[in-house]
Structure 1
Amino acid sequence: MDVTKTSPARQADLESLFSGNLKGQLKELDAVRQQAIKRLLIACILVPVISLLAFAYIEANRLDPELILWVIGLSIMLMYWFVASKWASYRKGYKTQVVGKLLGTFNSSFKYSPTEQVSSVKYKESGLYPRAYDRYQGEDYVIGKLDKTLIEFSELHTQYKTTTRDSKGRTTTNWHTIFKGLFFVADANKHFNGKTYIMPDSTGLFSSIGKSIGNLFGTRSDKVALEDPDFERFFEVYSDDQVEARYLLSPALMRRLIAFRAEADARVALSFVGGQLYIAIPTKKAYFEPKFFKPAVSLDVIKEIYQDLDFITGIVEDLDLNTRIWTKE
């Protein structure tokens, strides 16, 4: 994902914020990170020592050799908790203090909740991933207004499970990803009569989704033919209202979507449903995360988070959502 477009003016705002009170707070936070590293070093020493002592004791007393596996497993679990609890404390403090302040430089209306996500209701309403899920997880939820446009977004990971049984009656459960990435919702300032889906070009999963959208929603969703070969190289459009779909997808918006897809470097999918524009950006990237082995007082890490925020909030500008070409009816 290309996030190098941050303007010089915003870079200056970032450096000013970093040099101000943020740097002092990060120094305090870094003490927690260093404690987590110390705990990791202790764990790396204790686990092998405990394992060797347990092995020697079990051998000397001719106990069941399987006991050593239990001892090793238990010691690893305890050491993992020993390290993870301190890291979780650092991660929570970092996100709350850093991401919240960075969002404020874009717009003071933004509210940030590190442990929440876009609601499952909106995920379903988007119609972009109609397959039923068994697990719905997310984090880094943001909601706020940029000029005239109310937006919300978060990381999301939806999965379904399959269970198999072997000849001996043993069951195995496997989890499969439906969507993992950034999920973005914007107020389109219009209630759409139909449902229009802009899917990646017809390969793999998205091909079957496009073909089944009509049946899944109980309406007739046909493929929309558009007179833009460049756009149709990257996207397929389905809608139950052909006239409205062509009205929505103006030549200007199609050009913006092509450019946005290139910038996101992902197989983005969009839908116009109800009064909302939904955008799904598949990615393996974990957003707004501190680094374990990098100091909290690192401008490079702050810049990376800032550039991610600039990219995400920039969707409003990229797709020209503040220009009210659609109006509420």
Structure 2
Amino acid sequence: MSGFNPQKLSDALVGAPSLEVLSAKRPEFAHVPKVWSDVLRPELARRESDRKEAIRTAITRSCIGAGLPIFVAILLAISSLMSFNMMFPGIMFVIILFAAVVSGPAWIRVFTMKSQTKQLVLAAACEPFGFSYDTLHPDLSGVEDFRSLMQRATELSAAYSAGSGKTVPTPFGMISTGSGNGIEAPTPAYEVLKAAKLLPSHSRRKFEDMISGERAGAKFVLVEARLETGGKNSTTVFQGILAHVEYPERFLGRTVMARSGWWKRGRDAGDLKRVDLISRELEDAFTVYSTDQVEARALLSPDRMERLIALERHFSGGKLRGVFEDGHMTLALEADDQFEAGSIFQTLVDPRRYASALVELGLVCDLIDGFLTRDWVRGRL
């Protein structure tokens, strides 16, 4: 979602444990070494030669596309028809244009392989939990040249403009996703957080990396979101994770929480009242308002807050905020790209791609499990 950083994607795998270590940590992971050896490793090995060839072709075409106008500029300078300084602004534009035209389809193939690899690895990581995964990326397979690229771009633009982007199943129904303002969000979290004024003002939105399913009777959807102001000088105002968990039971009140120093409630709080948390450390770190003081303090107990902080810490995120209302917990966490399954510029046959995805999913499960323990409210329902 953000600017491409291959080093960051490689670094994400450094701390991943071995599959053998993971298999002993959770019952869902008991068979992951076998899944790697029997399913993922053979398939990734089959794709490895295609990956190398695709990158080699893309780099070669980039060099050709950029080199041709440079060669012409040198000839003109040698012939004294024009000085190089006079040509410099124009030649830079031509270099970029030629490089994009000549190498664009080749790079599309590289990043399509990246998307397909991510789909393969993350879907395999979701399987032990019974979850589903979808990159939500448009289908760009089959793009071989600039003409087919333009044709596919036109088709996708028309589909998204008509509000009929990619249609995917979620636990909350079929959703059409994509970019822009006419596309539905693949999670109720977007509208919930927007209504609670926990998302910044924006005019464009994009979603990817949707993980959905059911955990201990609770349906959930987690997705990455990027919100932009739009226009000529568009800027990104939010990039991170949106999570929505629907519980089989309802909360008695409405509780809103956020990291202190970022979000403040004042006279517009209405019937929400400031909550004093049990822990002084949490009191300093989070701002909490609720219509039910007792429920809020029990809900945001130190052990549950630690799970939220652990999620924030793992994803190197910040500005954690959320709403607990009716039968749902809805969270937003600002963070760089997650669920990337490693860099396309590194070998695909690396078990850490699979292991890192499993760790991330396990953390999400721990968070849901922690908040599904509803002993603190059962006696009052």
Map of 2:95 onto structure 1: 72
Match of 2:286 in 1: 235
Q: Are 2:321 and 1:269 equivalent residues in the alignment?
A: yes
Which residue of 25, 28, 32 maps to 2:43?
Answer: 25
Task: Pick closer, same or farther for the CA change 1:185–1:101 going to 2, 3 Å.
Answer: same
1:79 deviates by 4.5
**Of the candidates 13, 29, 34, which is equivalent to residue 16 of structure 1?**
34
Q: Deviations over 1:3-52 (max 9, x none)?
A: 87956245553222100122111112223321222124313532453133
The SS at the match of 2:347 is coil
**How is 1:199-210 mapped onto 2 (pairs within 5 angstroms)?**
199-201=258-260, 203=261, 205-207=262-264, 210=265
Contact map agreement 2:275 2:297 (CA 8 A) in 1: no
Relative distance call for 1:128 and 1:57 in structure 2 (3 A) is: same
Q: What corresponds to 1:113 in structure 2?
A: 134
Match of 1:151 in 2: 220
Number of residue equivalences = 305
Distance 1:16 1:223 in 2: 51
CA distance in 1, matches of 2:300, 2:188: 31
Shift in Å at residue 135 of structure 1?
A: 1.6
- Is residue 2:218 matched to residue 1:195? no
What is the TM-score normalised by the length of structure 2? Answer: 0.70
Aligned partners of 2:331, 2:296: CA distance in 1, in Å?
15
Match of 1:62 in 2: 81
Q: In the alignment, which residue of structure 2 is the partner of 1:280?
A: 332
Match of 2:273 in 1: 222
Give the letter for the 1:111 counterpart.
S
Q: Which moved more, 1:70-79 or 1:6-15?
A: 6-15
Residue 361 of structure 2 corresponds to 309
2:303 corresponds in structure 1 to: 255
**Partner residue, 1:81:** 104
Q: Which amino acid aligns with 2:24?
A: P
Using the alignment, how far apart are the partners of 1:213 and 1:37 within structure 2? 54
1:274, CA displacement in angstroms? Answer: 3.2
- Deviation string, structure 1 residues 216-260 (Cα, Å, up to 9, x no partner): xxx443322334323212211112x1xx24214317733321343
Distance 1:213 1:279 in 2: 21
SS state at 1:314 partner: helix
**CA distance in 1 between partners of 2:228 and 2:90 (Å):** 36
Assess if the C-alpha contact under 8 Å between 1:143 and 1:153 holds in 2. Answer: yes
Give the counterpart of 2:115 among 92, 95, 112: 92
Unaligned residue ranges in structure 2 (runs of 5+)? 1-11, 137-176, 179-184
Q: Is the 8 A contact 1:198 1:270 kept in 2?
A: yes
Pick closer, same or farther for the CA change 1:322–1:142 going to 2, 3 Å: farther
> How far apart in 2 are the matches of 1:3 and 1:320?
26
Partner of 1:169: none
State whether residues 189 and 324 of structure 1, in contact with CA within 8 Å, keep that contact through their aligned partners in structure 2: no
Q: Conserved in 2, the CA contact under 8 Å of 1:184 and 1:278?
A: yes
Alignment check: 8 A CA contact 1:231 1:258 kept: no
After superposition, the Cα gap between the structure-2 partners of 1:245 and 1:278, relative to the gap in structure 1 and judged at 3 Å, is: farther
Structure 1: stretches of 5+ with no match in the other structure: 164-171
Match of 2:245 in 1: 186
- Report if aligned partners of 1:200, 1:269 keep a CA contact under 8 Å in 2: yes
User: 1:250 and 1:121, CA in 2 relative to 1: closer, same or farther beyond 3 A?
Assistant: closer
TM-score, length-scaled by structure 1: 0.79
In the TM superposition, residue 174 of structure 1 has moved relative to its aligned partner by 3.9
Aligned pairs for 1:289-304 within 5 A = 289-304=341-356
Distance apart, 1:67 and its partner CA = 4.5
* 1:36 is aligned to 2:95: no
Q: Shift of the alpha carbon at 1:92?
A: 2.6
The answer on whether the counterparts of 1:120 and 1:136 sit within 8 Å (CA) in structure 2 is no
RMSD of aligned alpha carbons = 3.1
**How far 1:124 sits from its partner (Å)?**
2.5
- Aligned CA distance change for structure 1 residues 325 and 32 (closer, same or farther; 3 Å): farther
- Name the counterpart of 2:6: none
Tell me which amino acid in the other structure corresponds to 2:206.
Q
